[in-house]
Chains A and B, each alone.
Chain A
């Protein structure tokens, strides 16, 4: 188990390095840099800025160096915990993204919990009562959630929440709490707004999870040990909880690794539509304005979270299921 953990940890290093290089290349791909998009933006509003001033800024921020050099400067900064400088905000990146990472984490965590609860209940029900009306109805619902475009669903819920519950449009809290410190009222306000993104992002993931749980559970339900247990007169519910469900639970844990990137990228689109103070909209904006260190550092933090999330899910799985733990050991 220790060897497995260490191995997994070591593999993370080249993964993250590869991600950082990839991120940097992709950010550099579009023509121009932050300052060209900045000039364009100023000009589209009728403002002007002198070419000399731009040249001065470019030098100040090291844009005159080669991309490879820029990459290593950035990487060296990352290793020291310095994420670089956001041109858009004229602040160090770490000052800009702090709060947002936290809120993104809250939204993602709530979404995963929501997905789990919904798919656990529905998946179990539809496996036990296979081909019943409930099975069809609930699966149908799950697929509707999968098939409805997130942004459309988000807009519909927003409208309903505004018209019937008076919730303000967009955001994660009522506007008056935005610059307040955390309080009971603020937390309640966040809860009042949180359900929309959670339901929207969550529903797109539940369908898959429901199907996986249902399929796994169906496999187990027809195995002989279940039949034996029944024959011996064990209560059906007790059988279900005690044996097949435990075996069928694997995908829940294993899926954290899959779910995390899904939730985070799905959240980006929904967050833009809902104007959530999470990383998604800021990342999109940073990419559009080619605020490269902000965008790059964002992507790195998200990549790190995903890699760590996958690691945690794999370790949890190994703890939960000896077959994986031992199989993992044997292959080495």
Chain B
């Protein structure tokens, strides 16, 4: 304990801050500590703890209070792992990766990662968190054929190669590959992270290596599971967060057994973060999550039943929420959506129809389609002018942003669009004024929508009006998400509308795989993506020059060791992406309403509402949010 005090003192520069009986001890535990049921806070936090600087206008808070939130399904308990955002390493507000649960990470050549744990770190049940938890995961979970039939997760493989894992001592562990693995740290810091540790002391009771297998199988039958492996997998739910007995490292720990409609999360007595005055975080004692149907959540939020809500609120709820602010004591903030684009058109370069396919592969045709969209009108009418007319690309808050990426081919210029289409050779028109395809059909494009919101069809009706002026007719057809997706994959669908790049805030160290054909879910080239994704077992290899270049650049990026080189490759890829316009972005940076209790402090006024990196509220540290009186 003396050592803890000493370390805290050296870090804090204010030696008395962590003194016994000081504000450091959350009142929530005062009684348990006084009764000797719980060690005092100095013995609970690791040495050294993570000291959170209250920068960017945040203030030091006070302990206490209950945060109410609303979720639509009991499965959403995992959102508390997202909001809690305690990770081995995490993204800071600058979107750079920094140690969190780990004291430090040493990286050699981007391929050898030495992780240092915080000495004295404990699980929420008080058991020590050591490299034994990593060993258990690696030997007994990830490499156990019954628990993980496909072996360790994909982020741990570089061209199929698995890391060498060395346990050096109780707090040091090393992962090494023969080549750089740029996926490793981002995976650890992700909103839905790669877990490379498990609470071994708890899970061993469900593992056949440590507990009698026949007894375990009996227990599994009792719990309605097939065998011990299924039972282990069910109890081992660090991310799903649905097992209240499973120890945790998050700021709040689930204390409600499934199934339920109301979940209470209580503060983790062993949480590793403290504020600059030594107060153990989180400030808020309890989080109560109520489950209500998604449709009613905006209404419930409007009556003040949630203290912090963004999920299940949509932009069109904004006026209703604003109207109820005063009566129910909350504020409605607008955060920006962090996707590369809020709505984007995807011409299918793998369309089955040979005539359309040839047209879509002609960059002039894609540019003409883009020029013939009045983005300003869409923005004004549907988003009250609060969104940005933009291509599907990196957002202004990304360090890689350049205005040309955003603005290219976004001006509304029917004349140039018509000229481009004439150049392509679509000069014939029918009596309606529609251009004729080379085989004599009229140029009519059907865009299938997922049919989940009217937003897509609303936007398409604007696009339809202006495309009509360049002699192309658009039909929108509401369908169902899975059907649409399968039709895109098979090339039956000509064009689709969906959100743009998943990560609109990349930095040089983010893998630029979204810009190259790497996944089937990339609607502009599903078959090329599938080819890479399956290692050539299905799909088609890319047969167009620019996508091939993008793939080659991606490969170069993986091999590049240093940041400057990676940044250069990013810009080369973005230049091709911008010039070639494989996807046609309409608007980006749409607004996400965020309702915040008027007394809740440290919630940023203008944040980014993003999944990864960002973890929704996670990156803004809900453990530092506090209630003012």
Contact = CB atoms under 8 A, between A and B. Distances in A.
Contacts of A281: 293
Interface residues of B, number: 42
B580 interface: no
A74 to B, nearest CB: 15
Given A40-B481, A56-B150, A90-B242, A31 B486 contact: yes
A98 B614 CA distance: 38
Contacts of B299: 158, 169-170
B290 A175 contact: yes
Contacts of B292: 170-171, 275
B262 A36 contact: no
Contact of A178 (B73, B154, B261): B261
A46 interface: yes
B611 interface: yes
Given A60-B230, A91-B224, A281-B293, A46 B154 contact: no
B262 A50 contact: no
A179 B256 contact: yes
Give the interface residue-count category, chain A: 35 or more
Most buried by A among B75, B293, B481, B502: B293
Contact of B521 (A43, A162, A171, A175): A43
A275 B150 contact: no
B107 to A, nearest CB: 24
B325 to A, nearest CB: 16
Contacts of B305: 168-169, 175
Interface in B294-340: 295-296, 299-300, 303, 305
A92 interface: yes
A46 B612 contact: yes
B477 interface: no
Contacts of B521: 43
A169 B264 contact: no
A162 B259 contact: no
B482 interface: yes
Contact of A169 (B226, B234, B258, B300): B300
Nearest to B237: A90
Contacts of B75: 88-89
Contact of B300 (A32, A60, A170): A170
B150 A273 contact: no
B564 interface: no
Most buried by A among B73, B258, B292: B292
Interface string A45-73: 11100101100100010000000000000
B296 A50 contact: no
A188 to B, nearest CB: 18
Given A46-B611, A272-B295, A281-B293, A91 B483 contact: no
A88 B73 CA distance: 10
Interface in B212-252: 224, 226, 230, 234, 240, 242
A171 B296 CA distance: 10
A100 to B, nearest CB: 9
B554 to A, nearest CB: 17
A170 B261 CA distance: 13
A270 B506 CA distance: 44
B150 A53 contact: yes
Contacts of A90: 234, 240, 242
A85 interface: yes
Most buried by B among A96, A179, A285: A179
A277 interface: yes
B192 interface: yes
Nearest to B503: A46
A322 to B, nearest CB: 48
Interface of B: 68, 73-75, 149-150, 153-154, 191-192, 224, 226, 230, 234, 240, 242, 256, 258-262, 264, 288, 290, 292-293, 295-296, 299-300, 303, 305, 481-483, 485-486, 502, 521, 611-612
Given A158-B299, A169-B303, 6 more contacts: A37-B482, A40-B481, A50-B153, A88-B75, A169-B305, A175-B288
18 contacts: A30-B482, A40-B481, A40-B482, A46-B191, A47-B191, A50-B150, A56-B150, A85-B224, A89-B258, A90-B240, A175-B288, A175-B305, A178-B260, A178-B262, A179-B260, A275-B292, A275-B293, A275-B296
